Amino acid sequence: MVTFITMYYRVKTPALLPLLTPSCTWKVKRVSDTVFLTFDDGPHPTITPWVLDQLDAFDAKATFFCIGKNVAAYPQVYEEIIKRGHAVGNHTMHHMNGWITQRKTYLSDIDEAAKHISSHLFRPPYGKMTPFQMKALTQKGYELVMWDVLSGDFDVQLDPALMIQQMLPQIEAGSIIVFHDSEKAWPRLQKGLPSTLTWLREKGWKSNAYTK
């Protein structure tokens, strides 16, 4: 069942999208008790350390898709992510929208981010990239990691309790779940992440970093 939160995004990824974009990873198959938490748009000097502490408290691991300019600004936070055993991915240098950015400019921005982020994982900001960009990135050796469940923490009009209510029932074994370690998402993240981690523990599930 697909749940609508607003007119412009869905909590649960429509089943058709993975079929249309076979070069992208949307969910992990053949796992029975594991999900994959991911965090976009960091690192942030205070929010990311809070996220790391929450994950430690639940013995959970995650993947952080970092913006290059934020890594350059807060390298110590980026190093702490890695030190604590989490994975990282490239999220462009300047959070570029692939749909409105020329391929050469888009790829150059990713190359710039790669100077700060050592990873073969890539997630496009807003989930938007063209087929030409996808092809170029896979040829460069990137794995394009999307998601199965979108928390909606970036939606400033969304009540945190409603976010949790609509998100948790959509999580399945193998789900790749998106949160954001950003100021915009903070009012919802600070409630949604502990609730999600608690829910997973009660189900006997664990969160691993996606590193394939």
Q: Residue 152 and residue 29: Cα distance in Å, rounded?
A: 23
Q: Which residues contact 100 (CB under 8 A, 6 or more apart)?
A: none
Residue 86 a catalytic site member: no
Q: Is 53 a catalytic residue?
A: no
Q: Which of the residues 40, 41, 148, 153 is marked catalytic?
A: 40
Q: Any idea what the Cα angle at residue 42 is, between residues 38 and 47, rounded to 5°? A: 95
**Cα torsion 186, 78, 208, 5: sign:** positive
From the candidates 44, 95, 116, 180, give the one annotated as an active-site residue: 180
The tokens for 158 are 């969304």
Give catalytic residue positions: 40, 180
